[in-house]
């Protein structure tokens, strides 16, 4: 598979590829602006057919032993691993993620998190039954799940929903983002080879307004698991309300990287910039607000600019590239608009800017950008930009407290992720516990595929990964005896 190949990813309903009624959605390579492939423009009728297939398959799949379902999920993980390089090439061409990052993360993480889910079930660490006094408590599959996934980590976000849904005994209708859907062509091969029965996993391509809305409102869908924008999450919740189905939402973020006065500033800034610019900044958990003591603000800005200079926009297919294009023209224009708004609001443009990067008249590239002297009321400090834009924000640490840093960190409508850097583990942990956010990394701690991921406030509800992610797809039954 090469970035220049043309891919046609079809619907996958009841174990068979379907091409819809002939209408298509074209997919562009964001680095070249050239056609990369297409998917059918799904309709409500396609969604209806997929839900019906999932409903028919539910009883038999739910009745299978959990260990057998987990073994199939493990085989899915193995299939993804076997296709790692070809999946990475497709994701690089589809999303614009640099190929090295696409290989190590985009095409590898889905296998790791899926295997972790399967292992929890087969090891007995996740129990589907437990006894509490005279009650037998059983965890049963919630039913037919509509999984609506975004474009920024296409395979990763799909498997974050698919793996736990399958091990619990749920059947699934997947609606991937129409912006970057082409990895599903290989996913269908993986599912078939792993032995997933017809109807257990169905894929319907199309827009959120058409297919997503139909799935969210469908009376035979028992649960919607949605990852995307906060605006999209509100629409899904509203559509699902009439049928009172379960809805889990993993939405936007504006995460704070709190660098305390005793931290290793060089390390904290370097890791902070790397996280903020990861995947072109198109990550919901990116640390896009860097909070530093006022006395260290200018030093932090200098370090941030030095780090940002290493993220020059370049061909994402080149193994040395750190920063590829934005996923689409719309996303590029949105990011550029935020950069302009930051300048207009009075933030100091320390690095980058809204102009096109040199040598990139073609492709949806933007300059890596660092703002200094950002205040909490500025739009760039409140809105999720979803691009390589970092806001360095000073806070007051006089009096020996971290109260001002915590206040600013908690001062947005979001609460998805965050970070704390300190020479004292006890102090860092104290600040982490005060942050109103679903996940906090201390001193650059590594990702844990068994730990829960999800948000507070308008970053959503529900959790993904590990036993917490499995729990979301279960109904709880209490039997007294």
Strands in 9-105 per DSSP E: 11-13, 16-18, 24-28, 35-40
Distance CA 98, CA 365 (A): 12
Sequence-ordered alpha helix ranges (H) in 324-439: 329-345, 379-382, 403-409, 425-434
Closest CA to 158 of 328, 324, 12: 12
pLDDT at site 399: 80
Asked if the model's pLDDT at residue 49 lies above 60, the reply is yes
List, in order, residues 6 or more apart from 306 with CB less than 8 Å away.
none
Separation in Å, CA 420 to CA 74, 125, 217, 376: 35, 30, 40, 18
Q: What is the pLDDT, as a whole number, of residue 65?
A: 97
> Over the stretch 294-311, which tens digit does the pLDDT of each residue have?
999 999 999 999 999 999
| Burial per residue of 456-475, b for 16 or more beta-carbon CB atoms within 10 angstroms, e otherwise | bbbbbbbbbbbbbbbbbbbe
Q: What is the mean pLDDT of the chain?
A: 97
Cβ contact 186:9 at 8 Å: no
- The alpha-carbon radius of gyration of the chain (Å, integer) is 22
pTM of the model as a whole: 0.96
Q: Which domains, ranges and CATH numbers included, belong to the chain?
A: 7-251+458-480 (3.40.605.10), 256-448 (3.40.309.10)
Q: Cα(464)–Cα(255) distance, rounded to whole angstroms?
A: 18
Instruction: Give the catalytic positions in this structure.
Output: 250, 284
Q: For residue range 388-445, what is the model confidence (pLDDT) as tens digits?
A: 999 999 999 988 899 999 999 999 999 999 999 999 999 999 999 999 999 999 999 9
Return all residues near 428 (Cβ < 8 A) that are at least 6 apart: 260, 420, 421, 422, 442, 443
Question: Strands 11-13 and 16-18, how do they pair?
Answer: antiparallel
Q: 362: Cβ–Cβ under 8 A, 6 or more apart, which residues? A: 32, 33
Instruction: State how far the Cα of 168 lies from the Cα of 129, in Å rounded to an integer.
Output: 12
| pLDDT exceeds 50 at position 313 | yes
């Amino acid at each position: 598979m090469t970035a220049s190949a043309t891919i046609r990813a079809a619907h996958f309903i009841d174990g068979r590829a379907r091409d819809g009624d002939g209408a298509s959605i074209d997919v562009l390579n964001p680095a070249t602006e050239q056609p990369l492939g297409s998917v059918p423009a799904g309709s409500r009728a396609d969604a209806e057919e997929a839900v019906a297939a999932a409903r028919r398959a539910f009883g038999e799949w739910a009745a299978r032993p959990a260990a057998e379902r987990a073994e199939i999920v493990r085989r899915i993980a193995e299939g993804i691993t076997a296709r790692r390089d070809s999946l990475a090439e497709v994701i690089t061409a589809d999303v614009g993620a640099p190929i090295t990052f696409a290989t190590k993360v985009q095409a590898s993480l889905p296998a790791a998190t899926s295997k972790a889910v399967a292992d929890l079930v087969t090891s007995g660490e996740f129990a589907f039954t437990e006894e509490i006094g005279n009650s037998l408590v059983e965890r049963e599959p919630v039913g037919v799940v509509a999984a609506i996934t975004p474009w920024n980590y296409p395979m990763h976000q799909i498997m974050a929903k698919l793996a736990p849904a399958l091990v619990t005994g749920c059947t699934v209708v997947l609606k991937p983002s129409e912006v970057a859907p082409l990895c599903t062509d290989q996913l269908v091969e993986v599912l078939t080879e792993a032995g997933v029965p017809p109807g257990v996993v169905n894929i319907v391509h199309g827009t959120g307004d058409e297919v997503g809305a139909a799935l969210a409102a469908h009376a035979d869908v028992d649960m919607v698991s949605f990852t995307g924008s906060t605006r999209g999450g509100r629409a899904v919740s509203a559509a699902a309300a009439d049928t009172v189905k379960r809805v889990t939402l993993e939405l936007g973020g504006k995460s704070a990287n709190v660098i305390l006065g005793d931290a290793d500033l060089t390390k904290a800034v370097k890791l902070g910039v790397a996280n903020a610019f990861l995947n072109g900044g198109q990550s919901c958990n990116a640390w896009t607000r860097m909070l530093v003591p006022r006395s260290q603000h200018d030093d932090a800005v200098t370090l941030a600019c030095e780090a940002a200079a290493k993220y020059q926009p370049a061909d994402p297919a080149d193994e040395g590239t750190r920063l590829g294009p934005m996923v689409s023209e719309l996303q590029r224009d949105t990011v550029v608009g935020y950069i302009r708004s930051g300048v207009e609001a009075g933030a100091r443009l320390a690095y980058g800017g809204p102009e096109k990067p040199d040598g990139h008249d073609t492709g949806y590239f933007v300059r890596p950008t660092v703002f200094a002297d950002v205040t909490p009321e500025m739009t760039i400090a409140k809105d999720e930009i979803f691009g390589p834009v970092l806001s360095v924000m000073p806070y007051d640490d006089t009096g020996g407290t971290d109260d001002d840093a915590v206040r600013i960190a908690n001062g947005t409508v979001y609460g998805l992720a965050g970070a704390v850097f300190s020479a004292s583990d006890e102090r860092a942990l104290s600040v982490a516990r005060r942050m109103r956010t679903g996940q906090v990394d201390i001193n650059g701690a590594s990702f844990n595929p068994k730990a829960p991921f999800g948000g507070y406030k308008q970053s959503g509800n529900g959790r993904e990964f590990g036993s917490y992610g499995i729990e979301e797809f279960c109904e709880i039954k209490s039997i007294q005896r």
